[in-house]
Amino acid sequence: MSMVNGFVTPEFYSVREAFEQLLLSDDSRGASLALVHKGELVVDLWGGMSDADEQQGWQQDTIANAFSCTKGIAAICVLRAVEQGLLSLNDRIIDYWPDFAQEGKSHLKVSDILSHKTGVSAIDAMIQADHLYDWDYMCHAVAEQAPWWPYGQHGYSPLTFGWMIGEVFRQATGQTMGQYLQKEIVAPMGLDCFIGTPESEFHRCAKIERGRPVKGDPMVDGLFKEIMKNPTGVSSKAFANPPSAQRGTNSKAWRSMELPSANGHTNGRSLAKLYGALANGGSLDGFRLLKPESLSLCWSETARGYDPVLHTDTRFSMGFMMSQPSRLAQFGGPRSFGHPGAGGSIGFADPDAQLGFGYVHNYMGPYILVDPRAEGLITAVYECL
């Protein structure tokens, strides 16, 4: 009996085979994979187990924490709100959030958050574990933080991105990003996607399991060595302050809170539809997600080069990570944009191939950017084009 459910169109059947082989390997538990090509859902697959005890199979409506894939979803919300005149990327952050002016940050713009150029990639002062779930407390801590480097250098903001863009969004629109997402995008597109998951949906949340450590990847090894060598440095603080960010993934508190950088819960189908719309002129199934004039912001590079948080080269557009040539950092063509998530989930759009890709799973790998499991699936997709 096959572990895979769902459908593929005939020309993408080899993608199904690759997905099934992945689920049969020791490097997987459960997952969902979807592909939108030229505005049509051509792959929609799910399978495996949604819990570590292997008592519950992955269902069509199973969702899982996709970690930093949430940043791409947040970027879509921001760009749509900009189109609606609710905020401007060129405005200063303090135009919406005056408290952010502390420590010489009054010049920073909303666009600097999306491009990871604020320098506020981590909070230096130690944060107690339970404060992670206190929005006002964390926003105040971010506002008090001095930039880690002079303006002009970009550096990935694994967690603080969420409080920065989330507070600007809340002050500008009068609603949280999670509320906006449900009303403006999820409902009209029929998605399974939450930033702040209601308790009523917990029964279909896959349990996240951490996989075996893997050595040998230079990106992973370099970051791990830096964190061990400098536990008070920006890389260590960015990922582990507060420490509960590393431990609370399956908790009620983590699922319920809103953190637009890291705790979005979704599945492959929803990511593929979001990015499939952006790869199809901004529309899908008659719904306009973004106007064509906004799409260039998605694939226009705003930051590139060495990243002092990840200790490797990164490339960003307005809220999205972009594909780059280096190993385990490439997804699609040169204009592809989207976001990988910690542990291996990823969603992206390739506008040149008119392709939207979504892969969400519950067995975390140790890789920084594109997980080899996702890389294999992406390769299988492009071999079908």
The angle, 0 to 180 degrees and rounded to 10, between the axes of the packed helices 160-173 and 69-83 is 20
Question: Which residue type occupies 273?
Answer: K
Average pLDDT value over all residues in the chain: 95
Domain holding 289, by residue range, is 4-384
pLDDT band with cut points at 50, 70 and 90 for residue 370: very high
39 close to 280: Cβ distance less than 8 angstroms: yes
Confidence (pLDDT) at 41: 98
pLDDT value of position 246: 78
What are the tens digits of pLDDT across the range 78-137? 999 999 999 999 999 999 999 999 999 999 999 999 999 999 999 999 999 999 999 999
Query: Is the pTM higher than 0.75?
Result: yes
Asked if the model's pLDDT at residue 1 lies above 70, the reply is no
Mean local confidence (pLDDT), 305-313: 93
Residue 344 scores a pLDDT above 80: yes
Residue in the structure block whose two tokens are 């909303």? 110
What is the number of domains present in the chain?
A: 1
- State the virtual CA torsion across 252, 253, 257, 259 in degrees, nearest 10: -110
Q: For residues 17-29, give the mean pLDDT.
A: 94
Please tell me the least confidently modeled range out of 267-276, 293-302, 321-330: 321-330
The residues facing 247 across adjacent strands are none
CA distances from 294 to 97, 101, 243 (A): 24, 29, 37
Name the more confident of 228 and 19.
19
Record the tokens describing residue 75, joined without a space. 């970027």
Percent of the chain with pLDDT over 90: 86
Q: What is the pLDDT of residue 332?
A: 92
Look at 216 and 13; give whichever has higher pLDDT: 13
What are the backbone dihedrals phi and psi of residue 324, each rounded to the nearest 5 degrees, phi first? -145, 160
Decide if pLDDT at 337 tops 90. yes
62: domain CATH number is: 3.40.710.10
DSSP-assigned letters across all residues of 24-39? HSTT-SEEEEEEEETT
Residue 139 has pLDDT above 90, yes or no: yes
